[in-house]
Structure 1
Amino acid sequence: MVRRRADGAGRRRRDEAELTAAVARIWRDLLGAGADVTDDDDFFELGGDSLLATWAAARIQDELGIDVTLDDLFQQTRLGALVAHLRLLPRRPRSAEAPVAAEGGALTAAERAVWLAAELAPQATAYLISVVVRVRGDLAADLLEDALGDVITRHEALRTAFLLVGTEPERRAEASVRVPVARVAEAGPPGADRLRELAAEDAERPVELDRAPLFRARLVTDGDRATALLLTVHHAVFDARSLELLVRELGECCAARAEGGVADLTPVPGPGAFGARQHAWLAGPEGRRAVAELAGSLTGLPAPGPFPRTEPSGTGDGAGDGIGDGGGGGGRDGVGAQRRETIDGGLAHAVRRLALRHGATLHMVGLAAFAVALADRTGTDDLAVGAAFSGRTTPEAQNAIGCFVNVLPIRVRTSGPEPFTDVLARVRDATLFVARHQDVPFEQVRAWFRQEGAAPPEIRVAFGAQDVARPAYRGEGFELTGREADTEQARLDLTCWLEAAGEDSLQAFWTYRPGLLTSSDVAALHGRFVEVLRTGAGTEPADS
């Protein structure tokens, strides 16, 4: 009897150790943490956010067969506490089902949202993304161009077009595509201003959605050396995560070719496979229930929104991602204006500490301050604020270039003078609720309202927070760094993106429609936003 109890205790210790090692490995993969992740380490103190928590939950579900939720990761933030909690959760067998190969057929929700917005203004360029990949070191231009071809071969989205069949669009992924790469000869590495000029020049022309590939490429050279790769990509096949994957895989393919080989070109399941699963889920009881729950949370929203307008804003079904864009009507031409404001380092640090103290993220703190500032400016205390969710809720989707992002409204209520922590608590709960429903397309929510005979909600303003550390690849003798060029396109009435570049660095990037707001309006709004953050974090204004 004693031996049996001892054997059982030993097995439990081994099981716990194996589970701890598996979860720690997932954390390291996602966070880039050091080799030693201990029981006392906190996911968010190591650099985690709601996006990475979503990916961690998906990895734990897929690799360990444990039905963990996003809420579990926010409630059990330390490794030891999470592992203890995971041991109490139900397990299920790992699915042996292979991802569905779907290179044709119906669009994913994210692709359809961008397609609809583009259809409203086919000559507009608001949904073009300008990507700049800088090259440092010695890298042959021919080799980089060949590496780009390797990446295109691997990713279905870079070979995809969207054709109208009858009254509905269909996706078509070509087996191969010809990508002309125009070359621009420069004497020496081009400066930032020159690259911005080239990117803006290339983004002036629309990209037709019915002919693959949905991007243009230019290679800046100094003799036979590559100094920069410029891509103008339609948002229908590209998002923030796609930029990270592009830079990494370009680097890997360059390194392999430099050694006389070819990198792994095994195709990854792309948006088509994800879309097939998404359509099946939405048609089932779980998907229908999720749509009804999310739509129900938005009933009774004041109309039409915080800023009065005299003409419709479009469908409200647009899409965006974490690289400075939102969702909603694109207007006639998308032309907007922007402001970039730096937040002092002391406040930036205090805001991060405030988030950690309240089990929140930088996005949640910023969204709470944005809602308070907007309520003060407009008198609207019940807002639907768009937030971009990655939409990559399966492990395979995390490694596919394409458009997966889903912009959904988070309902935020404020009630006059009240402690900032009260607003933050409501924003945290509302954000986690929507995050649990991030597989629900906003188009489905709007359809639910129409079926109920009610006016569907719109996304007119959006807020986001992101780490702007540039995707990079360091190879033998060369380095690639990628970024998206700033745009003056305005897809919404107002957006604010809080950009973090280190513990003590924050910038607020505002885009807005000049017909609704002036530069001084946005400056005043930013001032109030900072004031709310300072009050919430309990800091004094920095010396000027």
Structure 2
Amino acid sequence: MSDEATVRVQRASALERQFWVGEQIAPSARANRALALMRADGPVEHGALATALSAVAARHEALRTAFVVERGELWRKVLPPREVPPPLYLPAGTGGHDATAALLADDSLDLAAGRLFRAGVASDDTGATVYLAVHHIAFDGMSQEIFAADLARAYALAVTGEDPVLPVRERAEPAALAPDQRAELATHWRTMLDGAADLPLPGSAAGPGPGQRQLAQAELTEESSELPAAIWQAVRARARHSGCSPYAVLLAALGRALAELTGGAGFCVGTPVAARTAGQSDEIGYLTNTLPVRMPELSGPGAVERVWGALRESVIGSALPCDEIIRAARTASGRRMPVYQALFAFENWERAEHAAGPVRIRALPVPPVGGHAEIQLQVTELPAGTLHCVAQAPLSSPWQGRSAALLRAFDDELRLLCADAATRPPGQENTV
């Protein structure tokens, strides 16, 4: 394939192909977009901020990549650095919902043209909030932290009049699975998910659940809650008691809450896991894979330990991209989202504050702006040690109006699991 001197061409990765296909199925759907949120405390100079945004895009190839189909294959073309459109200036106090609507109103993102993000700024008396609407093909949760750090570096230079040139972070050619590896992984998933059930619709809901296109295009309703630091401490204690990750305790509580609300058993919960290599800690991109975790028996002794075992079985097969997992192990045909209908995400990485000349910049947690499942729960550890929980469901779906009930059930199940561990010596099975 020919290549120009200023354009580098590579095959798209499996995860990039997944989002490209999603864009063709549901153009401009919010499920294909991410929203990043950063706070700049101090006197923000708008011109320097606009320059810094262009500098970050110049550094990260993922933010200036066009996706084109040639000879039946999807290719990514890394474009030369260029100025990005100036930020959209928003009224002070603009929230995430209004910022998302404003940034995506003109459908300014375009995969074929390499226009993958649009920024907005809402200034106030103490600084500014920076919003970033980005196509998911180029951005995952950890990318937000990397963007904030690089924005601070570039702004510190721009505000003093220096040229904010940052070293380019080249993207590696995606590693391809050997045919025998792919076949072995597909067999692993078919065996593990054989006979897995769909998540029943909640309560007395009748009729089919939302189709995949409807999910991708739907706006979301959401409810949030904050669990006290004592709960997070108890979760970690339960994890130590059970010899597992706190993630497994949270996932077990969600599985039990879903079972309580639906009467379901043997269903799967999708969960994003990092697919970054050791050398990609400072690279922006969608470097995450979503894995289905088949819920084991959730009542009786050892529920947390069984969920931990199921989670490890899923991670063993994490080298196979999600779309190939679904093709290998699709549990039933139909219009509903296959394999899993609920999604769980947990964010507990450090959110550093970055010096940027006279201001300080930090990334803030933000929930998804689009539907990736029929019901989704995001739990974020906040600096105070509390857990911020956001449950989301698409409008006009059987889960609409039930997000608050899910949060209450999740809270109750966490407390039950943690209280049970507190009454049992380590090493003994736990009765729930």
TM-score range, shorter chain: 0.7 to 0.9
Shift in Å at residue 179 of structure 1? Answer: 1.2
Contact 1:243 1:471 (C-alpha < 8 Å) held by counterparts: no
Residue 300 of structure 1, CA deviation: 1.7
Q: Indicate if the aligned counterparts of 1:331 and 1:491 stay in contact, CA closer than 8 A.
A: yes
1:502 Cα shift? 4.2
Residue 313 of structure 1, CA deviation: 2.7
1:250 CA displacement? 1.2
1:383 to 267, 276, 281: 267
Equivalent pair of 2:270/2:344 in contact (CA under 8 Å) = yes
2:208 is matched with which residue? Answer: 310
Pairwise CA distance, 1:496: 1.2
> Deviation of residue 252 (structure 1)?
1.5
Question: SS of 1:177's equivalent?
Answer: coil
Rate the CA distance shift 1:484–1:200 in 2: closer, same or farther, 3 A.
farther
Deviates more, 1:258-267 or 1:197-206: 258-267
Task: Indicate the residue corresponding to 1:445 in structure 2.
Answer: 325
Q: Does 1:208 align with 2:147?
A: no
Q: For residues 151 and 445 of structure 1, do their structure 2 counterparts lie closer, same or farther at Cα, with a shift above 3 Å needed?
A: same
Question: What's 2:49 paired with?
Answer: 144
| Mapped partners of 1:110, 1:423: distance in 2 | 32
Amino acid at match of 2:300: E
Name the stretch that deviates more: 369-378 or 133-142: 133-142
Greater helix fraction, Structure 1 or Structure 2: 1
- Aligned ranges for residues 342-491 of structure 1 at < 5 Å? 342-392=226-276, 394-414=277-297, 417-419=299-301, 422-449=302-329, 457-467=338-348, 470-483=351-364, 485-486=366-367, 489-491=370-372
Q: Which moved more, 1:464-473 or 1:487-496?
A: 464-473
The CA deviation at 1:368 is 0.5
> Contact (CA 8 Å) 2:45, 2:159: kept in 1 or not?
no
**C-alpha distance in 1 between matches for 2:207 and 2:15:** 27
Q: Return the letter of the residue paired with 1:396.
A: G
Preserved CA contact (<8 Å) 1:367 1:464? no
Matches within 5 A, 1:79-90: none
Matched, 1:301 2:196: yes
Per-residue CA deviations over 1:166-204 (Å, capped at 9, x if unaligned) read 544321211223411145286xxx33x467533432133
User: 1:132 & 1:531 partners in 2: Cα distance?
Assistant: 30
Q: What is aligned with 2:77? A: 172
- The number of residues matched between the two structures is 408
1:432 alignment partner AA: R
- Residue among 255, 267, 291 paired with 2:186: 291
Cα distance in 2 for residues equivalent to 1:181 and 1:258: 16
Structure 1 SS opposite 2:156: helix
C-alpha contact (below 8 Å) 2:199/2:262 kept by paired residues:
no
CA shift for structure 1 position 487: 5.2
Q: Is the 8 A contact 1:337 1:511 kept in 2?
A: yes
Partner of 1:297: helix, strand, or coil?
A: helix
Partner of 1:233: 134
Displacement of 1:520: 5.1
Q: CA deviation at 1:530?
A: 1.9
Task: Name the CA shift for 1:204/1:346 in 2 (closer, same or farther; >3 Å).
Answer: same
Structure 2 unaligned blocks of 5 or more: 1-6, 422-432
> Structure 2 matches for 1:67-106, cutoff 5 A?
103-106=8-11
Please state whether the residue corresponding to 2:22 is helix, strand or coil.
helix
- For normalisation by structure 1, the TM-score amounts to 0.67
AA at the equivalent of 2:25: L
SS of match in other structure, 1:480: strand
CA 1:295 to 1:195, structure 2 compared with 1: closer, same or farther past 3 Å?
closer
Q: Deviations over 1:306-364 (max 9, x none)?
A: 337536633xxxxxxxxxxxxxx662622221111222443332122212222322321
Higher RCO structure, 1 or 2 (CA under 8 Å, sep 6+): 2
Cα–Cα, structure 1 residues 201 and 162, in superposed 2: closer, same or farther, change >3 Å? same
Partner deviation per Cα, 1:4-28 (whole Å, 9 max, x = no partner): xxxxxxxxxxxxxxxxxxxxxxxxx
**Structure 1 residues 538 and 229, CA gap change in structure 2 (3 angstroms):** closer
d(CA) in 2 for partners of 1:220, 1:524: 34
- TM-score, structure 2 as length reference: 0.83
Asked whether the equivalents of residues 79 and 114 of structure 2 are also in contact (C-alpha less than 8 Å), the reply is yes
**Identity across matched positions, percent:** 23
The 2-side partners of 1:109 and 1:468 are apart by 26
What is the root-mean-square deviation in Å for CA atoms of aligned residues?
A: 3.2
Is contact 1:350-1:537 (8 Å) kept? yes
The letter for the 1-side match of 2:64 is R
Residues 364 and 431, structure 1, Cα contact 8 Å, conserved in 2: yes
- TM-superposed CA distance for 1:274, in Å, is 4.5
Superposed displacement of residue 128, structure 1:
1.8
- The corresponding residue for 1:336 is 220
Say whether residues 1:254 and 2:165 are aligned partners: no
Unpaired runs of 5+ in structure 1?
A: 1-101, 315-328
Q: Please give the alpha-carbon distance, in whole angstroms, between the structure 1 residues aligned to 2:214 and 2:375.
A: 12
Report the secondary structure of 2:310's partner residue: helix
For 2:128, give the aligned amino acid: T
1:503 CA drift (Å): 6.3
| Shift in alpha-carbon separation, 1:469–1:205, aligned structure 2, 3 A | farther
What secondary structure sits across from 2:314 in the alignment?
helix
1:257–1:263 CA contact under 8 A, matched in 2: yes
Contact 1:348/1:505 (CA < 8 Å) preserved in 2?
yes
